[in-house]
Amino acid sequence: MAETIERVTIGSRGSELALWQAGWVQKALQQRFSHLDIPIQIIKTKGDKVLDSPLSKIGDKGLFTREIELALLSGDIDIAVHSLKDLPTELPRGLTIGATCEREDVRDVFIPHPKNPIRTLLDQPKGSRIATGSLRRKCQLLHVRSDFQIIDIRGNLTTRLKKLEESDWAGMMLARAGVVRLGWEDRVGETLDSEKILPAVGQGALGIEIREEDKRVADIVAALHHTPTAQAALAERAMLRALEGGCQIPIGAYARIETGRYGERTLKMDGVVGSLDGKSVIRGKIQGMPENAEAMGTQLAETLLHSGADRILRDIRAVDTKQTVSDIES
């Protein structure tokens, strides 16, 4: 008797990296479930359409996910594959993260201009122009090299690399995970220490979003779930949620699970909140049992707030409010 073919549709953004990620999930599921037909449906998000403004100026709640989530809720797709760092900490009612896939390298990289012989970031000449679309990277970099000029850059990785080649910039900062996934590792000048330049919350991990009550799909995607990554991401996302942060605020976090000599597992986590100019940076650390990941993330957020992050966040939000009023009045 012929095996019944089931369809499970993946929703994805249309960038080269997003399609690589969706294709990876597609292939991984097909290897485990031969009876599945798994097409990929491309969906454009607001973040893909608005490319002439910095991320910090156009809002971040669902910037790269909202349209995909609407398709998921309507039943047009069954699975949404996201870079976990793009997924808001508060999901729409009826949706949940069905699986968190094993994390790629969390670190950032420096990609020098092809004609720049200096491969390392902090060895660039005084006043060098460094491109990044991330306030988190900008803050942490200016904290150690206030002389750098930061160039805001948007677009997918292919677009950014082309802009770099056509520019007079010294180089550009990107997430290593995306660069590796697209096979551009030879362009990397330096991989940056994750404790000096803390990554974004969830960086390097894929989140598979599904409908909360869809047990059929939940059972399928569970095959790709990686518990250590999920626990680390849970801690990071809890910290971000407690800080009420997003693209407009420089926040970094890195949680990881380390195994001791006798097999004991410890979740260690670093967090950072900084001012937009990099002059004020508040860092904190915590460690404990992986089973307490969410509570640890919240606790680290409280520690950062008590250490001065509350003032930084107040100042940034006050500036954002003034700019919004100015935009409305102009």
DSSP H or E segment with residue 268: strand 265-274
Write down the catalytic residue from 48, 86, 214, 270.
86
- Token duo for residue 259: 């195994």
With b meaning 16 or more CB within 10 Å and e meaning fewer, what string describes 199-238? bbbbbbbbbbbbbeebeebbebbeebebebbbbbbbbbbb
Ramachandran assignment for 186, one of left (phi > 0), alpha (psi -120 to 50 degrees), beta (any other): alpha
CB 41 within 8 A of CB 11: yes
DSSP H or E segment with residue 16: helix 16-32
Look up 86 and say whether it is catalytic. yes
Beta bridge partners of 287: 268
Q: Is the dihedral of CA 177, 281, 190, 232 positive or negative?
A: negative
CB 208 within 8 A of CB 25: yes
Instruction: Give the alpha-carbon dihedral of 28, 31, 37, 43, to 10 degrees.
Output: 10
Which residues are marked as active site?
Answer: 86
